[in-house]
Structure 1
């Protein structure tokens, strides 16, 4: 049964110190390229026809009883470890807030919706290829169980854009994502930069109440420490999710780390073919700061910046203790994420840790792609020594003995696992760019969702 539409623009409780009202860009066309009916049903918007989708998610006419005008959120952030006080929502805005079928507050926010006070010299637009890539990233990560924003809508907008890093002119788009809040570590950094301790306390209360469903206390210092504890746990799970998915975000700046630990804003992302610690996604990441295996380090560094902000309103030693304990949280989360993707029954921390360590040794051998290994060994099944004769895999087979779970979904009988490597992304885009053929894109989204259904079905099956 579809959920009802429940508008709840809580961001207005924060007041004008946190955002700037803006106007959406007028676009010459509104061609729907991706409409997430699955998530629309979960937030009470599943009955929209094509014209209504275009009205709200390309022209951005306000939703009923929601934000009367889009809001560009204010924030700062470290970008590749260099502090930048001149950023904020530069080509997007918060469009609406509403409740989902589990009563969680969600944001509808945009990318490519026009200029704002923080656009600087940019045009505030998004390329169609950039929008397509974000759809593919979010769909794949959602299917793999990573805490990610979801792409809600993608419209082609009929403008020609000039970009220096791809053939130009190129086609334009506007994207709407849905996620659990767009408050970033960088949001707190801006308040700390200006010494706004009252607003830091206000934002702490907002995050606790609306993003973590916890009642703030009358003790601002205790609230700040509690929020940091929650963010620490959430970001540990995020880092673990990236590695278990074989995913490289590419730009883990502090303005790209949400307080909820939800991944969002996908630019130069990639899925690593194999377990290569040095694999990078961004061509401009010359020193591998955000390489595959360095992502936990990057997220921990960003978390330290949040600790520095919250130290203005609470005691530093407890923050330091929580920060020091993050690595242990991450390691536990990684073992759990690997066990979950493998699809075997969790037995307990020590036993799962041993299996996960053996699995990681097999992945690190790079004798198979990440997707292939997880596919072949799903449910703890041993494909046999003829297919995986190397010692790391024989050790994995021994570690999994007695841990097997049934795999019943037809997906697991496919010849190849569903993957999302760069050559596949480029082939999907080439079909669109060269002959406006959207069939490969639509087929890939369907294949990704089928994989997600298979993983969900097996996770709920009896052991």
Structure 2
């Protein structure tokens, strides 16, 4: 579905806001999507479009495609690249920002919630640092598939609205098709956003960013913004701790590995974002990592909870003057808050395992034994949980534990709603992407349907439930696509 540049754009039947760009101009640089030689709408998430109040038919039109590429002057109020800093693999970089991304603006969905519409791969920006600002089709398709799978699994996440190819080849390891991902999130405010605001604008800018984030994400706290006190910002940070603890607990239950948990990839909303070198592991091993750029395993599966805690410690450092009437009070509050994170995470993990095992969360010893057995036996996590859900014979090593667990009369119906049949298994994703790059989308679309209906066996063939061949994960690596 192509479009021509000669056509004059028509106004869309909706309007975006520019709240971030207007309220925080110090953190926003105006921009627009680059021209594309032959844009084609490859994927459109029509259900999400409807949820946002966007007309799928209009989005498929030539003018709709121009909008999705960041070209139309309307209904865009002010497309911007966002500024942020970040610790990347533990090393602080004071100026990162959206090097290949644009925030088109915000829209209020049918539930009354504000959502960002955001492009990835839309061309160079002020933050490109010598890069081309473009995205390869393979990683864009990966993010579309995995983010939508995560949403279907009940994990807080950014969503994928569309994929557009540009008609241009770009050079990565080889010449590959370029593409633009249109994604949606409740905001794109990162830990790195606060690091940048603190570095460049001090506490005045940081307070404005915090107030913006409170209004966007924590409406129960926003009513206190007229008479803000240190306790407001203490409660704000505590809510971030809770959300991140619950998100990473869901990752742990599902065997998900983010792959690049820098502070610029950690959102204050608690949503998962930036599915570059992400993957789901099969054999349960704490030290598993797949990212080609994580050479030391900093962001391995078992490290993710502590890394999220480390990232949040970098966030609270930027908020210290807001947390108390004096520096000492602020520091004491920050230390007390960070001391809560471990308990919050373990409580959230207990809740997740209780759901997946169909029992209440009072059986702490049972859960701890189960985790020890996972570490000892390294089963395929997804297969094991679905085996328990469907009452099939457990794998060797779990027999006595299963007998003890069954005495609790687990709720199998509840288990069937949280333990997936289908996940984006690495070998299936790689095969589907390889064929998609050759122009054959059939396997990709079949896999997409299965993982977006993860609890329904009829959503895909039995082949899509099978783990990879022995040894596959030992050498498997994922790439961020830049």
Scaled to the shorter chain, the TM-score interval is 0.7 to 0.9
Q: How far does residue 179 in structure 1 lie from its aligned partner after superposition?
A: 0.8
Aligned length: 435
Q: Does residue 137 in structure 1 map to residue 146 in structure 2?
A: yes
Q: Which of residues 170, 173, 178 in structure 2 aligns to 1:172? A: 178
* Pair 1:199 & 2:205 matched: yes
Instruction: Answer yes or no: is 1:388 the counterpart of 2:395.
Output: yes
Q: For residues 125-159 of structure 1, give each alpha carbon's deviation from its aligned partner in whole angstroms, at most 9, with x where no partner exists.
A: 00000101101211221122111111111111111
Farther-moved stretch of structure 1 (85-94 vs 358-367): 358-367
**How far did residue 452 of structure 1 move?**
4.9
Equivalent of 1:328, from 324, 335, 343? 343
With over 3 angstroms needed to count, the CA separation of the structure-2 counterparts of 1:396 and 1:102, relative to structure 1, is farther
**Structure 2 match to 1:250:** 259
**Distance change (3 Å), C-alpha of 1:29 and 1:227:** same
Query: What does residue 234 of structure 1 align with?
Result: 243
CA distance in 2, matches of 1:76, 1:185: 8
1:210 and 2:210 aligned: no
1:449 maps to 2:440: no
Which residue of 414, 437, 440 maps to 1:437?
A: 440
Q: CA deviation at 1:405?
A: 2.6
Matching residue of 1:279? 288
Q: Which residue does the alignment assign to 2:382?
A: 371
Deviation beyond 6 Å, 4+ runs, structure 1: 408-413
Q: 1:461 maps to what in 2?
A: none
Paired residue for 1:360, among 371, 377, 394? Answer: 371
Contact 1:126–1:172 (Cα < 8 Å) also in 2: yes
Q: C-alpha deviations, 1:68-105, integer Å up to 9, x for none?
A: 23111111011011000131011001112112233221
- Alpha-carbon distance, 1:220 to partner: 4.6
CA distance in 1, matches of 2:435, 2:102: 31
Please list the CA deviations of residues 292-338 of structure 1 after superposition, one character each: whole Å capped at 9, or x if unmatched.
Answer: 10011111100000111001332121121110110010011112122
Give the drift of 1:60.
Answer: 3.9
Q: CA deviation at 1:38?
A: 1.4
**CA spacing shift, 1:397–1:36, aligned 2, 3 Å:** farther
- Gap regions ≥5 residues in structure 1: 456-463
Indicate yes or no: 2:395 matched with 1:424.
no
**Contact 1:74/1:89, CA 8 A, preserved across alignment:** yes
Partner of 2:362: 350
SS of equivalent residue, structure 2 residue 307: helix
- Separation in structure 2 between the aligned mates of residue 252 and residue 309 of structure 1, nearest angstrom: 19
Unaligned runs of 5+ in 2: 1-12, 324-329, 459-482
Query: How far off its partner does 1:363 sit?
Result: 2.5
Match of 2:49 in 1: 40
Matched residue, 2:19? 10
SS state at 1:325 partner: helix
TM-score (norm 2): 0.84
| Structure-1 separation of matches of 2:288 and 2:197 | 35
Residue 402 of structure 1 is aligned with which of 400, 408, 418? 408
Normalising by structure 1, report the TM-score: 0.88
Paired residue secondary structure (1:152) = strand
Q: State the match for 1:70 in structure 2.
A: 79
